[in-house]
Amino acid sequence: MRRVNTPVRQSVTLPANIAAQVRRLAKEQRLSANRMLLELIRNRMQAEKRKQEEFLDLARRFRNATDPAEVDRLGGRMGRMVFGN
């Protein structure tokens, strides 16, 4: 049985400018480029999860709202989240 936290080696090709930015960030934070990539990926995944949870909370509040002004306000926020500003 495979353990969940077992490291898996991956190969990623990055555009030169992105690779340079990753190396610069890694140097500033005294990390390896691989560790910097891992941190960037983790941060992005956490941000996506928070965004999804925020949307689901907003959708729940929208469904439960009874005040027409509140419905309009929440509907507008949901629209901006889905379609952008």
The CA-based angle 19-8-40, given to 5 degrees, is 35
With bands split at pLDDT 50, 70 and 90, how would you rate the model's confidence at 2? low
Angle, CA 50 vertex, CA 74 and CA 65 arms, to 5°: 20
Measured CA to CA, the distance from residue 61 to residue 54 in angstroms comes to 11
**17-63 confidence digits (pLDDT tens):** 999 999 999 999 999 999 999 999 999 999 999 999 999 999 999 99
> Do the Cβ atoms of 55 and 81 come closer than 8 Å?
yes
Tokens of 62: 């929208």
Q: Whole-angstrom Cα distance, residue 29 to residue 42?
A: 16
Domain positions in the chain:
16-83
